[in-house]
Amino acid sequence: MFLKAWASICKHGENHRLPKELTPSFNRTAVEDPSDLATAYLNRWDEVLTRQSITYNPRSLNVFQKVSPPPPDLLRATFQLSPNSIGRLREKILSHRTNSDERLHLSSFVVTCALVAVCLVKARGGRRDRDVYLVWSVDCRARLDLAAIPSNYFGNCLGVDYLVAEAGSLMGEDGIAVAAEKISELVRGVATAVGEVNSEAAVEKMGRLRSVGPEVQKFGVAGSHKLGFYQIDFGLGKPVKMETTSLDKTRGISVAESGDGSGGIEVGVVLVGHEMEAFESFFVQALKDVGGGHRCSRL
C-alpha cells in the first residue's frame, strides 16, 4: 500500500487526495497484543545482535549493514509460470498425494513455492539428510478475529511460517507433491495459529530460525503475486520489469504477478553459476513433464 500511495502522489502531485483504499490508517489500537509480542520480538533481536558482537544504535534509521558480501559469481534470473502451467502442476500434485483424506489448499502460491523449493534443493545437491527451511510472511490483518483492522492499516501485522523438510523427501519423483502437501497444511493452519500465538511460542519459533547452522538450506519468500507490483505507476508508466534487489544478499526467492498481465507468476532467484544452470534444467523439466510452458530472463 505504501508504494501505491507514494506512486499516486508522485503521479498526480502533492495536492492529490489519496483514495480511501490508499489512505493509511495509523490506528494502533486496532491490533491487540495481550502477549506483548512487540517487546518479545525487540528483545530477541537485541539478543541476536549482542551475541554476534554487533554494535548498533537501536534508535537509528540507518540501513543495517551487517550482511556477508555476496559471492562474485552470482547470477540473477526470473522464471515465469503461466496459469496453465500452475493448473497442470496442481493436477499432478493431486495425482501424487499421499493423504487422500485431507483436502489440500493448492493456491497458486502453494504450487509455485513447492515447485521452486524442489528445484532449489535439487540444484544444491549434496546430503539428502540435511534440513530444508522455506520461510514466508503471513498477512495477519484478515486472519485475526479483529474487525477493526482495515486493509489500509499501516503498521506491523505480519506473522511468519516455514516449512521444514528433509532434502531427500523433496528430491524424489513426487517431491513437488510432498512439498505442496506440507506447505498446504501450514497455510491452512495459519488462521487458527495466528489467533492463538503467544510471546513465548513466537520467540521460540523465531529462535529456531535463527539457530540453524550452515548445513541447513534455508531460503525465504519475498513479495507476493497479489501485491500488484506491475500496476504501480510513479508517473513514468507501469514497470517493465520488477526485481527484488536484496536477493543477492538474502539468497531467497521473490514472487510477483507476471508483468505481461497473463495472470501467471514470476519467480526471481539468485544463485551461483552451476546452481543456476541446474535450477533452470529442473524447472524446465518439471513443466515439460506436465505439458506446461515457461519463460526465463537472466541478468
As a whole-number percent, the residues of the chain with pLDDT over 90 amount to 47
Cβ neighbours of 241 (radius 10 Å)? 10
What are the Cα distances from residue 152, in Å, to 16, 22, 24, 231, 270?
A: 18, 6, 5, 17, 32
Are β-strands 131-139 and 217-223 bridged in parallel, bridged antiparallel, or unpaired?
parallel
Is pLDDT at 130 greater than 80 in this prediction?
A: yes
Is pLDDT at 236 greater than 80 in this prediction?
A: yes
Residues 181 and 110: their CA atoms lie apart, in Å, by 9
Cβ–Cβ < 8 Å for 116, 196: no
Cβ–Cβ < 8 Å for 75, 276: yes
What are the Cα distances from residue 163, in Å, to 33, 166, 187, 214?
A: 26, 10, 10, 17
Average pLDDT of span 96-110? 80
Grid coordinates of 281? 534444467
pLDDT digits (tens, 9 = 90+) for 174-222: 999 999 999 998 888 775 555 555 667 777 777 777 777 788 899 999 9
Split at pLDDT 50, 70, 90, the class of 32 is confident
Grid coordinates of 207? 529462535
Q: What is the pLDDT at residue 265?
A: 95
As a whole-number percent, the residues of the chain with pLDDT over 70 amount to 85
Residues 100 and 185: their CA atoms lie apart, in Å, by 13
Q: What is the pLDDT at residue 286?
A: 94
Number of domains in the chain: 1
Split at pLDDT 50, 70, 90, the class of 267 is very high
Q: What is the pLDDT at residue 83?
A: 93
What CATH number did the domain enclosing 97 receive?
Answer: 3.30.559.10
37: containing domain: 2-298
Q: What is the pLDDT at residue 49?
A: 66
Cβ–Cβ < 8 Å for 179, 114: yes
Are β-strands 74-81 and 265-272 bridged in parallel, bridged antiparallel, or unpaired?
antiparallel
Cβ–Cβ < 8 Å for 203, 38: no
Is pLDDT at 108 greater than 90 in this prediction?
A: yes
Greater model confidence, 194 or 32? 32
Cβ–Cβ < 8 Å for 164, 133: yes
Among 70-79, 120-129, 207-216, 283-292, which is the least confidently predicted range? Answer: 207-216
Grid coordinates of 133? 527451511
Q: Report residue 78: phi and psi, to 5°.
A: -120, 130
Give the largest Cα separation in the chain, rounded: 59
Residues 4 and 232: their CA atoms lie apart, in Å, by 6
For residue 289, the number of C-alpha atoms closer than 13 Å in the C-beta half-sphere is: 15
Q: How far is CA 238 from the centre of its chain?
A: 23
Of 254, 251, 285, nearest in space to 271 by CA: 251
Split at pLDDT 50, 70, 90, the class of 298 is low
Rounded to the nearest integer, the mean pLDDT of the chain is 84
Split at pLDDT 50, 70, 90, the class of 65 is low
Spatial CB neighbours of 88, under 8 Å, sequence gap ≥ 6 = 287, 290, 291, 292
Split at pLDDT 50, 70, 90, the class of 278 is very high
Is pLDDT at 285 greater than 90 in this prediction?
A: yes
**Cα radius of gyration rounded to whole Å, the chain:** 20
Cβ–Cβ < 8 Å for 267, 274: no
DSSP at 164: E
Greater model confidence, 195 or 116? 116
Average pLDDT of span 78-104? 86
DSSP at 64: P
Q: What is the pLDDT at residue 228?
A: 92
Report pTM.
0.86
